[in-house]
Chains A and B, each alone.
Chain A
Amino acid sequence: MQLLQSLPMNLGLGWAVALIPLLPLATFVLLGLFGRHHFRNNAGVIGTFSLFISTLTALYIANGYFFEYGSVNGVYQKIMALQITWLEFSPGFSIDMGILLDPISVMMLVVVTFVSLMVHIYSLSYMKGEERFSTYYAFLSLFTFSMLGLVISSNIFQLYFFWELVGVSSFLLIGYYFDRPSAVAAAKKAFIVTRFADLGFLIGILILSFQAGTFDFNELIARLGTASNPAFQSATAASFMGVSALTWGLVLVFIGGAGKSAMFPLHIWLPDAMEGPTPVSALIHAATMVVAGVFLVARLFPVFSVSPAALAIVTYIGIISALFAAVIACTQTDIKRVLAYSTMSQIGFMMFALGVSGNAGESGLGFTASMFHLFTHAMFKALLFLGAGSVIHFIHSNEMQDMGGLRKLLPVTHICFLLACLAISGIPPFAGFFSKEEILLAAYTSNPAVYYIALVTSGLTAFYMFRLYFNIFWSKAVPAHAPLDHHHGEGGFPIVLPLVLLAAGSVAAGFIPFGKFVSVNGKALETELHLVFSVAPVLLALAGILLATWLYKKQNERPAAISASLGGLYKAAHRRFYIDEIYVFITKKILFNLVGKPAAWFDKNVVDGMVNGTAEATATVSEKIRGLQSGKVQQYAMFFLVAVIFLAVIFIYLWK
């Protein structure tokens, strides 16, 4: 438990870290209040510059943490860099605003600032000329602030605080094109579905914090993650429907995470969220916000690891989501939706990697692998989205059928996109290969069934990614009628630079000895790749790529024939297995028609009817008693007096 010792408060460090989220917050306030009138055109530059400083600070902190002060005797410490009491419920039981530095939070600081900076730069060109340009950057800053606050949270309620803020920023950005009804609907859907999941999170927090008597992560983990602690014993002894309070709390918290991370069956908001501007999808719905659920489970991992039931749920939800989304991704034709399902599938990988992980030494490989994949995925998935953004900007459509043969027109995008596809497919030596191999290895050693499903899924991944790639860049000649934006081209420096930087990350990130820095207990985890083990996944990925080449490199009849032969299965996958329809049925038919409408009707006719009935009866009676006196006020004053006397009589009668 050395891990849990927090170093003495280091105020200088604390405020340096605090600067990272506070700069985007300042940008948000500045642009939110004055952007429309004063920073119409240079909002982008302001936002980008302030985030650039944040990114540098984050890199500086990461350098210091990983290479200077973070490790004591070979163990990375959890440093409580700042802690301010925000809302005290009773002495010792409070929501604090703090900064907890440990390997995963420091890594997330780097990922979030870096990807966000790329998106800020990219948007300088992509969103240029938008009427609400400054608002866009204000929202982007709000999101970045919230996400950074989330990852450095030292307190589970603080995390919930930023969790909700992240949700609302996502709502605002998806609904950025607010006059488009589909965007408004998508924004609402994203917020409400994740809110529903947050209900679980909230109740989970109530349970866990009540059992532990604290909201503080370090304390919570120390009390609930140690078998000898009385809090642990009472949390496992108390049970409801045969399940211990601890497991209930963890599963409910996981529901919150599953909602944010678009895990089955709470994923329905993610594909629709693609209504937002594409750079937003890259930042929020691919690289950062959607991995918050994974981060949450990782943050509470020592507690999860003492509840096998909760971990099993994490594992199965993760693997089901991975496979389910991969199948759907093979049938979608909107390129952003393909990427959205791919994101869901990859997050499924991270999730089940946590589920199969143990909490010590070698058995903690899953934890390291999950974080590693989170890191590499952020690079190549952000790249895929930004690349898709270039394509969409160029061709003014999201649909594959409008694309084809773009490799010559968009050479930089083409190469970067290809690299990202190779990385996500797990082809060595690109980044995704290393992280995915670790995940597969962790699954193999702990749960073979999960391993085989994951293997199939990773083959499917290669297939659908190259289906996407060929459909965009090869397939057919550029359609003659396509409304190409030749004037725009690849969009110049602000578009090309992030693509190239992210491509460099997608190629090189795999070589980081990740286990050295991030492991379940803070000690370096030596991971080695077994060549023999890698044969099967790589061959499967290559098979997927070959199949995609055969089917999609040149336009032909084969894909149509195959989908026809698959019949119902293809149709079901194409219609996303009708999950949306099920939700619509539940909400519209059941909640609105069977709960909402009756409640409103009941209120108007029964409750209010009784009130009106009483009033009328009283009026009739008082009229009879009082003859023909007119004037409503007197009538009611009279009513008042009568009532008082009546009640007083009852009262005195009861009294005696």
Chain B
Amino acid sequence: MNLIYLILLPILTAAGILLVQKPAQVKVVALTGAALQLLLAILLLFAYRQERALGNLAQMLFELEYEWVPGWNINFHVGVDGISIAMILLTAFVVVAGVLVSWNVTKMTKEFYFLLILLSLGAYGFFISLDLFILFFFLEIAVLPKYLLIGIWGSGKKEYAANKLAVMLMGGSALVLVGILGLYFGGSGYTFDLLHLSSISIPRETQMICFPLLFIGFGVFTALFPFHTWVPDGHSAAPTAGSMFLAGISMKLGGYGCLRVATYVMPDAAKEYAPIVILLATIAILYGAFATMMQKDLKYINAYSSVSHCGFVLLGIGMLTQTAVTGAVLQMVSHGVMTALFFAVIGMIYERTHTRQVNEMGGLLKVMPFITTVLMIVGLCSLGLPGLSGFVAEMTVFVGSWQNPGTYHRVATIAACMSIVVTAVYILRAVGKTSMGPLPAAFANLTDAKWNEKAAAIILLAGIFAVGLAPGWLVELIRPATEVITDRLSGK
């Protein structure tokens, strides 16, 4: 399989969107493109599995390398391992669902879909990059459209939110860029090549400076405490698909970067800074959960709960055991699908009730059984109900974290476990207040989901169940890849 297709397909789709005229045509082109992306991602999964089954033990498969800027030793170097495949699948699921729920966007439809597809291009490119320079290039492609998506199609304090998001994410990118340059100059051999950098030992002092830059830089994307404040405002102001992409894909760019670039390339620093990472992650998990408990706006609830859930990603990475790191990747996939669906459902409810305040709702189960049932399932996934993806991911993080026998790690793990109670409190509160109880008279005539909304929900639910019911395939995919990372950490 040629990975160029992953780049080419969004480009062609975006070009197609620019070429056609009517909004209806734009939607068809976008949906076709998104569906093809999903198909391609699934084909990639099978091609990858087949190649592995044939005994191909290379770390990265389907590698391609072209010279780009020879003087600087910048190459267009791409390839995938199990982690990348998982993230690509996640992206493809979220993109299709995002395109479907945006069916009713009437304002500047063409530009809207163009930006969505551009975002997916950035994400795919990012996840397959094996050269830090092009990785950064794609990261920026994934950041810029968000500013516009929120600023133009957003609601509420959208200018403020868009600016805040742009500033913080760009600040994060700046740190990433400096970190990458540091590796280029301070590593050995003036190279951006990830595989090369991860095969040599980088001087310790370089690691100690570059690790925080890269980890914080990427951490901003994945709501690393205390750099998470763009999350609530950004999500609440963004249009539905914007929130879905932001939480489902963008926050994962950060987690992936923290793992693949910061931790993998610089194992000494990763071990050195691990206590701080664990501390910040644990704070994010608990503090995010408690802050969620007090929110009254559905989008704020999901945004703060994302802070808490992304904390598990960072906790898994900080624990440095193979199971915990596998759990971190599982949590990225799980949270990506789940939170995208959560935002989609919130959007569906908001379109009907024109409010996101839980106190103003009630009894919606009566008039929109489909939407509220999906809300219930996604809520249960969020609180880690077995059979849904959240359980698999969180339990893997917990079990993996417990394998790190230090007292400090144990305390952090127990603290993180406590979030399962707080999560139950805020999820049941949100679901209970919206779906159950008496139905306000004003909502008596609301209608249930339309075809596009149902399709979006079903696609994402399929992801949640595919991971939750039979996690074996995903774990098999991810584990060999995390093993490479933890082997480097333990100096094997």
Task: Please give the residue numbers on chain A whose beta carbons come within 8 Å of chain B beta carbons, in ascending order.
Answer: 36, 85-90, 95, 157, 160-162, 164-165, 168, 171, 175, 178-179, 181, 184, 187-188, 191-192, 195-196, 198-199, 202-203, 206-207, 209-210, 591-592, 595-597, 599-600, 603, 607-608, 610-612, 615, 618, 632-633, 636, 639-640, 643-644, 647-648, 651, 654-655
Q: Which of B9-17, B53-61, B171-179 contacts A (4 or more CB under 8 A)?
A: B171-179
| Nearest CB on A from B140, distance (A) | 10
Report how far A160 CA is from B386 CA in the complex, Å.
9
Interfacial chain A residues near B424, Cβ < 8 Å: 191-192, 195
Which single member of A191, A203, A643 contacts B417 (CB below 8 Å)?
A: A203
Contact flag A178-B436 (CB < 8 Å), given A90-B323, A611-B229: yes
Which single member of B366, B384, B471 contacts A86 (CB below 8 Å)?
A: B471
Which single member of B170, B230, B295, B425 contacts A600 (CB below 8 Å)?
A: B295
Residues of B151-203 contacting chain A, CB below 8 A: 159, 163-164, 166-168, 170-171, 173-175, 177-178, 181-182, 185-186
| Nearest CB on A from B319, distance (A) | 13
| Beta-carbon contact of B395 and A157 below 8 Å | yes
Report how far A83 CA is from B439 CA in the complex, Å.
47
| Beta-carbon contact of B386 and A210 below 8 Å | no
Question: Residue-by-residue, is B460-492 near A (CB-CB < 8 Å gives 1, otherwise 0)?
Answer: 000000000011100100010000000000000
Contact flag A206-B413 (CB < 8 Å), given A178-B436, A181-B438, A192-B424: yes
| Nearest CB on A from B186, distance (A) | 7
Report how far A160 CA is from B395 CA in the complex, Å.
11
| Beta-carbon contact of A206 and B402 below 8 Å | yes
| Beta-carbon contact of A648 and B294 below 8 Å | no
| Nearest CB on B from A195, distance (A) | 4
Report how far A202 CA is from B398 CA in the complex, Å.
9
| Nearest CB on A from B302, distance (A) | 15
Report how far A639 CA is from B167 CA in the complex, Å.
8
What would 17 A/B residue contacts be, using CB atoms closer than 8 Å? A89-B399, A161-B391, A164-B391, A178-B365, A179-B439, A188-B428, A203-B417, A206-B398, A206-B413, A592-B294, A599-B290, A600-B290, A600-B295, A607-B228, A640-B171, A647-B175, A655-B182
| Beta-carbon contact of A199 and B418 below 8 Å | yes
- Across the A-B interface, give the 5 residue pairs with the lowest CB-CB distance, nearest first: A600-B294, A161-B386, A599-B290, A178-B436, A608-B229
The reply on B213 being an interface residue by CB < 8 A is: yes
Interfacial chain B residues near A597, Cβ < 8 Å: 294
Q: Nearest chain-B residue to A84 (Cβ)?
A: B472
| Beta-carbon contact of B293 and A651 below 8 Å | no
| Beta-carbon contact of B425 and A192 below 8 Å | yes
| Nearest CB on B from A187, distance (A) | 8
Contact flag A651-B294 (CB < 8 Å), given A168-B380, A181-B437, A611-B164: no
Report how far A86 CA is from B469 CA in the complex, Å.
9
Q: Nearest chain-A residue to B182 (Cβ)?
A: A651
Contact flag A36-B385 (CB < 8 Å), given A188-B432, A191-B424, A202-B417: no
| Beta-carbon contact of B399 and A209 below 8 Å | yes
Interfacial chain A residues near B232, Cβ < 8 Å: 603
Interfacial chain B residues near A195, Cβ < 8 Å: 383, 420-421, 424
Report how far A256 CA is from B74 CA in the complex, Å.
56
| Nearest CB on B from A652, distance (A) | 9
Q: Nearest chain-B residue to A595 (Cβ)?
A: B290
Which single member of B164, B174, B429, B432 contacts A644 (CB below 8 Å)?
A: B174
Report how far A482 CA is from B279 CA in the complex, Å.
63
Interfacial chain B residues near A203, Cβ < 8 Å: 414, 417
Contact flag A164-B294 (CB < 8 Å), given A89-B400, A157-B395, A192-B424: no
| Beta-carbon contact of A179 and B380 below 8 Å | no
| Beta-carbon contact of B428 and A648 below 8 Å | no
| Beta-carbon contact of A636 and B420 below 8 Å | no
Which single member of A199, A210, A603 contacts B291 (CB below 8 Å)?
A: A603
Q: A596-B290, A603-B304 are in contact. List 8 more A-B contacts (CB 8 A).
A: A86-B472, A90-B323, A195-B424, A199-B420, A592-B293, A596-B291, A599-B291, A643-B171
Contact flag A615-B164 (CB < 8 Å), given A87-B475, A165-B385: yes
| Beta-carbon contact of A599 and B287 below 8 Å | yes
Which single member of B174, B326, B387, B437 contacts A178 (CB below 8 Å)?
A: B437
| Beta-carbon contact of B178 and A648 below 8 Å | yes
| Beta-carbon contact of B167 and A636 below 8 Å | yes
Which single member of A209, A592, A611 contacts B168 (CB below 8 Å)?
A: A611
| Nearest CB on A from B107, distance (A) | 20
Which single member of A179, A615, A640 contacts B174 (CB below 8 Å)?
A: A640
Report how far A207 CA is from B401 CA in the complex, Å.
12
Q: Nearest chain-B residue to A603 (Cβ)?
A: B291
Q: Nearest chain-A residue to B366 (Cβ)?
A: A179
The reply on B275 being an interface residue by CB < 8 A is: no
The reply on B239 being an interface residue by CB < 8 A is: no
| Beta-carbon contact of B229 and A210 below 8 Å | no
Report how far A607 CA is from B283 CA in the complex, Å.
13
Interfacial chain B residues near A654, Cβ < 8 Å: 209
| Beta-carbon contact of A600 and B386 below 8 Å | no
Question: Residue-by-residue, is B429-473 near A (CB-CB < 8 Å gives 1, otherwise 0)?
Answer: 100100111110000000000000000000000000000001110
The reply on B322 being an interface residue by CB < 8 A is: yes
| Beta-carbon contact of A603 and B385 below 8 Å | no
Report how far A16 CA is from B205 CA in the complex, Å.
63
Report how far A209 CA is from B398 CA in the complex, Å.
12
Report how far A297 CA is from B403 CA in the complex, Å.
25
Report how far A440 CA is from B232 CA in the complex, Å.
59
The reply on B396 being an interface residue by CB < 8 A is: yes
| Nearest CB on A from B183, distance (A) | 11
Interfacial chain A residues near B323, Cβ < 8 Å: 89-90
Q: Nearest chain-B residue to A184 (Cβ)?
A: B436
Residues of B369-405 contacting chain A, CB below 8 A: 369, 380, 383-387, 391-392, 395-396, 398-400, 402-403
| Beta-carbon contact of B167 and A615 below 8 Å | yes
Interfacial chain B residues near A655, Cβ < 8 Å: 182, 185-186, 209
Report how far A491 CA is from B210 CA in the complex, Å.
76
| Beta-carbon contact of B417 and A636 below 8 Å | no
| Beta-carbon contact of B399 and A206 below 8 Å | yes
Interfacial chain B residues near A196, Cβ < 8 Å: 421
Q: Nearest chain-A residue to B423 (Cβ)?
A: A195
Interfacial chain A residues near B138, Cβ < 8 Å: none
Report how far A418 CA is from B186 CA in the complex, Å.
86
The reply on B147 being an interface residue by CB < 8 A is: yes
Interfacial chain B residues near A87, Cβ < 8 Å: 392, 395-396, 471-472, 475
| Beta-carbon contact of A596 and B293 below 8 Å | yes
Interfacial chain A residues near B421, Cβ < 8 Å: 192, 195-196, 199
| Beta-carbon contact of B385 and A210 below 8 Å | no
Q: Nearest chain-B residue to A202 (Cβ)?
A: B417
| Beta-carbon contact of A165 and B472 below 8 Å | no
Q: Nearest chain-B residue to A646 (Cβ)?
A: B174
| Beta-carbon contact of A210 and B436 below 8 Å | no
Interfacial chain B residues near A188, Cβ < 8 Å: 428-429, 432
Q: Nearest chain-B residue to A163 (Cβ)?
A: B386
Interfacial chain B residues near A592, Cβ < 8 Å: 293-294
Report how far A651 CA is from B176 CA in the complex, Å.
13
Which single member of B226, B295, B436 contacts A179 (CB below 8 Å)?
A: B436
Report how far A633 CA is from B295 CA in the complex, Å.
31
Q: Nearest chain-B residue to A587 (Cβ)?
A: B425
Report how far A198 CA is from B369 CA in the complex, Å.
30
The reply on B33 being an interface residue by CB < 8 A is: no
| Beta-carbon contact of B475 and A88 below 8 Å | yes
| Nearest CB on A from B468, distance (A) | 10
| Nearest CB on B from A132, distance (A) | 9
The reply on B267 being an interface residue by CB < 8 A is: no
Interfacial chain A residues near B403, Cβ < 8 Å: 210
Report how far A199 CA is from B425 CA in the complex, Å.
13
The reply on B311 being an interface residue by CB < 8 A is: no
| Beta-carbon contact of B369 and A36 below 8 Å | yes
Q: Nearest chain-B residue to A162 (Cβ)?
A: B386
Interfacial chain B residues near A199, Cβ < 8 Å: 417-418, 420-421
| Nearest CB on A from B73, distance (A) | 19
Interfacial chain A residues near B228, Cβ < 8 Å: 607
Report how far A625 CA is from B233 CA in the complex, Å.
29
